[in-house]
Amino acid sequence: MLTDKHCKNASCDAAKPRVRLADSGGLYLEVAPSGSKRWFWKYRFDGKEKRLALGGYPDLGLKEARGARDDARRQQQRGEDPVLARQVERLACRFDANATFEATAREFHATRKVGWSDHYAKRWLERLGKDVFPWLGKLPLPQIGAPMLLQTLRRVEARGARELPHSLLEACSQVFRYGVSTGRCERNPAADLRGALKPVLTRHVSAVVEPDQVGDLMRAIDSYHGQPVTRVALLLSALLFQRPGNIRHMEWAELDLDSGMWSIPSAKMKRTKREKLNGRPHLVPLAPLVVTALKDLQPLTGAGRFVFPALTTAKRPMSENTVRVALRRLGFDNETMTPHGFRAMARTLMVERLNVPPDVIEAQLAHGKSGPLGAAYDRAEFLEQRRTMMKTWSDYLKELRDRPPKKQAVGASTSKLGRSAAGEQPIAAPTTSAHVRRHVVSV
C-alpha cells in the first residue's frame, strides 16, 4: 500500500525507462526519469489484460486515484470495458463544440464539395445561408425537431417558392444524417417531414412536336431578321438538339468542319465532377447543312473563341436568354417552345416519324446509361448511326420547312437552310416522309 509520502518522494533512475509503485487492487503509480508521475489501473476484460490511465500526480492525489479505480471497477462489473467507454466519451466530447446546425452543415459541405460541381456546391451553401442559417444555424442539432424545421421551410413557401423548400429539406436531411454519423445527434428530424410540404407540380418543357408546327417553327427561324449570330444559334438548336448551355458555349476550336464533327469537352457536359475529369468528350456529328451554316458564320465570329459570342464582348458566350427571347420575337411564347424544347422535339419526331432507334437518339442527347452499371458496361456511342441520323434529321426539318403552310399559297423560298455544303445550290428535299423513313431504317 502506498502513502502520500511514498508518492511524493518516488523517483526513477535515469538508467531505467520507468518505475512502477503498486498500491492495491491493480492501482499503481508510474514514475518516469523526467520526474512525471501518472496513475494507472490494471485489470482484465474478456480474458485480456488492460490498463486505464487515471491521471497525473499530484493533480490526482492518492485518495482520488483510489476513488477513480473503484469507479472503473464498478464499470467493469457492469460488463463495460472502461478503456472503450473512455474512448467513446472522448469522441462524443470532440464534437460538442461544433454541434450547431451551421457548423455541422459547413463541415459537411467542406467534406462533400470535392465531389460536387463548383456551381452546385456554391448554390447548396448559399441556399442554406439565406433561408436556414438565420433561423436554425446557432441551435445544437439535438434541439432541432421536425416542427421547428417545418416552420423554417414554411417561411420559404410563403414567398411563393415551390421547388426551393423541397431542395432545402433535402439539404437539411443531409446535414442531420451527417450529424448522426458523427455523433452530434441521434436522429434525422427531416425524415419526419415527408409529405408536409406543398407538392411541386412539375411539367415537361414546352416544345412543338407536331410536324406542321415544326414546319412553322423552321420557317420562322428561316425568316428571322435579328442578329445573324442569333439566327444561326436558333438553327443549330434545332439541327443539333444539344443542351442550350452547350450550344451557346460552342467554341471554334471544338469544331472540325472538314470531317463534320463537334467534340464537346467532358468538362462542359452535364456530369459529376468525377465524370467531368475522367469522361470522354461528347461527339456530335454535323450534317452538311450545319457545316454550311457554320461556314457562313465564320467570317463574323471565326476570329474569336466562341461561335456565338455575346453582343457586347467576344470574351463571353451569348446570354442564356438570347435564344429564348428570339423565340418570343418569332411568336413562340414560353408555353409553346423553349430552348430546351428542341431536344424534346427531336426525340419525339425521330421516334414517331423517322423510326430511329431510341438508343441512337439517347446517345446523341448525351443521356446517361440506365441502371447502376449501365455506364460501366454499355459504352456504345453509335457514332456511324448518328452520322446517318443527323443527316436524315436535317433533311426532314428542311422538308417540313418547305411544305406549303396550311391556308397559305404553295411555294416557299429557298434559304440558307436549303443550300448545299458549298453554299450555292439548294439541296433537293425528300419528296415524302416515306422516303425519309426508308432512309433511317438502317440507323
Task: State the CATH number of the domain containing residue 63.
Answer: 3.30.160.390
* Residue 241 CB contacts under 8 Å (≥ 6 apart), including other chains: 342, 343, 345, 346, 347, 364, 365
Distance CA 74, CA 88 (A): 18
407 band by pLDDT with thresholds 50, 70 and 90: low
Domain for residue 345, yes or no? Answer: yes
Cβ count near 164 (within 10 Å): 17
Task: State the CATH number of the domain containing residue 113.
Answer: 1.10.150.130
**199-219 per-position pLDDT tens digit:** 986 666 789 999 999 999 999
Mean pLDDT lowest among 54-63, 172-181, 273-282 = 273-282
Question: Cell digits for 316?
Answer: 463571353
Higher pLDDT, 61 or 414: 61
Q: For residue 426, what are the CA distances in angstroms to 223, 225, 299?
A: 17, 21, 21
**216-252 per-position pLDDT tens digit:** 999 999 999 999 999 999 999 999 999 999 999 999 9
Which of 254, 212, 208 is closest to 347 using CA atoms?
A: 208
pLDDT higher than threshold 50 for residue 430: no
Q: Do 90 and 102 belong to one domain?
A: no
Task: State the CATH number of the domain containing residue 261.
Answer: 1.10.443.10
Q: Do 87 and 106 belong to one domain?
A: no
Domain for residue 322, yes or no? Answer: yes
Q: Do 163 and 111 belong to one domain?
A: yes
**313-354 per-position pLDDT tens digit:** 999 999 989 999 999 999 999 899 999 999 999 999 999 999
Among candidate residues 166, 193, 220, the one where a domain is terminated: 193
pLDDT higher than threshold 80 for residue 3: yes
Among candidate residues 94, 120, 151, the one where a domain is terminated: 94
**153-200 per-position pLDDT tens digit:** 999 999 999 899 999 999 999 999 999 988 888 899 999 999 999 998
Pairing, β 48-57 against β 261-264: unpaired
Cβ count near 65 (within 10 Å): 24
Domain for residue 69, yes or no? Answer: yes
Domain count, the chain: 3
Among candidate residues 68, 94, 120, the one where a domain is terminated: 94
Distance CA 392, CA 354 (A): 9
Which of 253, 254, 255, 278 is closest to 266 using CA atoms?
A: 278
Domain for residue 202, yes or no? Answer: no
Mean pLDDT of 121-135: 96
Q: Do 115 and 73 belong to one domain?
A: no
Domain for residue 11, yes or no? Answer: yes
Q: Do 62 and 139 belong to one domain?
A: no
